[in-house]
A and B are shown apart, each in its own frame.
Chain A
Amino acid sequence: MQDQPALGTVEPTGLERVRSDRRLRRRLIAQPKQALREIGIVVPEYLEVKTVASKGSPVDPGEATLLQFVLTRGSLLSYFFLPSPQSVSAQQAAYGFIVSKSLDDPDFERYLREDVAAAIRKVCAASPGTAAAAASNGEGERR
């Protein structure tokens, strides 16, 4: 049985599977909380997660190249993005700039980790000591 990451973990792993595994992409849209866990992103159970899927550009090949994960907890809201490294438009929509054109660039993981951490921290801010502390790593504070 595959080891499961601990609650509050924000250590994305195996992101290449998002590009290569169509079923995983579909699960990220239909059942985001469970599917995110498969790539090392553990969203606290008490948060609702919704995925908004689209193409960074209408001419992007294939399926959705940008996934937005909207986290809610009551009236609290935050979000983070998972852009395809193959779409510069999706990267720019997510981050405002092109991260890299190299599919294996570790910056993709770094930006995702910072984005997720900031999003979880924001929506959990009302209950310090829970997931906010777990997600807090002193990095980016985008959303």
Chain B
Amino acid sequence: MKLVHPSPRQTATIVQAMYAVVSAAGRMSPQPLEADCIAAIQRHLLRIEHPLAGAPGPLPGDLADILNTPELRLMTVRILAMLPVIDRRVLPEKVRVVDEAAARLGVEEVGLRILRYASRGRYRRVSLLMAKRFIAWWSPVGKARLRDWVRFMWWMVPRLHGPRMARMNREMRSRFQGLAMLPQGSFGRTLYDFFGEHEIPLPGEPRGVPWVMHEVYHVICEYGVSLEGKLLLTAFSGSSLEDTCLDQLLFGLLSYHAGKQLVGGVVSERILQPDDYFRAMARGAGVNVNLAKGWDFWDYVEIPACELRSRYNLPPISQEERDSVSVFNALLTGPGYSTSIAA
């Protein structure tokens, strides 16, 4: 998600648009958490030192005139799309304001379909749509055909594999086990240790999946596996991507903040801390590489993890963030991370 630094007038327009969403065009009062989120968005995503106040009301009449570039429009719509989830109800009245803004700005974002399904309580459709988009991304032809669904499911379940694939799995497991020989602090060793410390089966192991991208993101962004860490991970990964930006952001907010069950795993409610969340988004948006496309982590396993983050325009965790996030055990610590274990 490309962040655009808006002019003061554009900022005021975006702020008013955000208040239009959380107030359902002036029909309800914004909740304190929503106001806090709007302020945090201004601080971290719009880079405004002193956030502007706003008031309940409709979308600005000159929205499309003031927000006059495609990048600014897309960023604005994505920001607006997160807001109906903040009160955990995903009210259709609020989603309609997002849809209206997107229409006026001429922005077509597939992620808005996720939001619409959620506003109707159709969470199975949300899950299906997210899975379909993921498999389309994974498919060699960029579409989720029936054969791609079947192939993906088969690929992800090693127990279904035959002798030839079992041999390849053994080779893959062996290759991953070799990461243990790398120096402490190297990216590969840090990733290997992450698997071990959290008892995640390595790719190629019987219960493992041949897939490390999720774990790579944990190691790169330094957010851990507590629920608060998982939410920050989705903020980071969503904002670091373009194609599936809202998929990631909405998955995290719906699952970990709104308590909506999407994939049968863990959910929670009301764990969103606005400054932590939008700071994580800003970190992700700053990343200068697409880890999910054409990036092979084997090319980087010997590089120190901290150096790799630096190459990707990802500075060490700031003391401000460390102080705030550490209370939730949401940071990974130790060799390969910018936070020592003692902290």
A: residues with CB less than 8 A from B are 50, 52, 54-58, 66, 68, 70, 75, 77, 79, 88-90, 92-98, 141-143
How many B residues touch the partner, as a band? Answer: 20 to 34
Which residues of chain B are within 8 angstroms of A88 by Cβ–Cβ distance?
198-199
The reply to whether A77 and B270 form a contact with Cβ atoms under 8 Å apart is: yes
Q: Does B300 lie at the interface of the complex (its beta carbon under 8 Å from any beta carbon of A)?
A: no
B: residues with CB less than 8 A from A are 32, 197-199, 224-227, 229-230, 259, 261, 263-271, 327-330
Contacts A56-B266, A79-B270 given; does A93 touch B327 at CB 8 Å:
no
Which residues of chain A are within 8 angstroms of B330 by Cβ–Cβ distance?
96
The reply to whether B266 and A89 form a contact with Cβ atoms under 8 Å apart is: yes
Say what secondary structure dominates the interface of chain A. Answer: mixed
The reply to whether A142 and B327 form a contact with Cβ atoms under 8 Å apart is: yes
The reply to whether B198 and A141 form a contact with Cβ atoms under 8 Å apart is: no
Considering the chains assembled together, what is the distance between the CA atoms of A54 and B254 in angstroms? 14
Which residues of chain A are within 8 angstroms of B224 by Cβ–Cβ distance?
96
Known: A68-B268, A77-B270, A79-B269. 13 other contacts (CB 8 A): A52-B268, A54-B266, A56-B265, A58-B264, A66-B266, A89-B266, A90-B266, A92-B198, A92-B225, A93-B266, A93-B268, A94-B227, A96-B229
The reply to whether A57 and B265 form a contact with Cβ atoms under 8 Å apart is: yes
Considering the chains assembled together, what is the distance between the CA atoms of A141 and B269 in angstroms? 19
CB distance from A28 to the nearest CB of B (A): 15
Say what secondary structure dominates the interface of chain B. Answer: loop
Considering the chains assembled together, what is the distance between the CA atoms of A77 and B329 in angstroms? 18
Considering the chains assembled together, what is the distance between the CA atoms of A68 and B256 in angstroms? 11
Which residues of chain B are within 8 angstroms of A94 by Cβ–Cβ distance?
226-227
20 pairs of residues in contact across A and B, judged by CB atoms under 8 Å: A50-B269, A54-B265, A56-B265, A68-B269, A70-B269, A77-B270, A79-B269, A79-B270, A89-B266, A93-B226, A93-B227, A93-B268, A94-B226, A96-B225, A96-B229, A97-B197, A97-B225, A97-B329, A141-B327, A142-B328
Of all chain B residues, the one with the shortest Cβ separation from A77 is B270
Considering the chains assembled together, what is the distance between the CA atoms of A143 and B259 in angstroms? 18
Considering the chains assembled together, what is the distance between the CA atoms of A8 and B327 in angstroms? 23
The reply to whether A52 and B265 form a contact with Cβ atoms under 8 Å apart is: no
Which residues of chain B are within 8 angstroms of A77 by Cβ–Cβ distance?
270
Considering the chains assembled together, what is the distance between the CA atoms of A16 and B213 in angstroms? 37
The 9 residue pairs across chains A and B that have the minimum distance between CB atoms: A96-B329, A96-B226, A58-B264, A54-B267, A92-B225, A58-B265, A93-B266, A96-B224, A52-B269
Of all chain B residues, the one with the shortest Cβ separation from A140 is B327
Considering the chains assembled together, what is the distance between the CA atoms of A55 and B329 in angstroms? 20
Considering the chains assembled together, what is the distance between the CA atoms of A66 and B271 in angstroms? 15
Considering the chains assembled together, what is the distance between the CA atoms of A54 and B32 in angstroms? 27
The reply to whether A92 and B226 form a contact with Cβ atoms under 8 Å apart is: yes
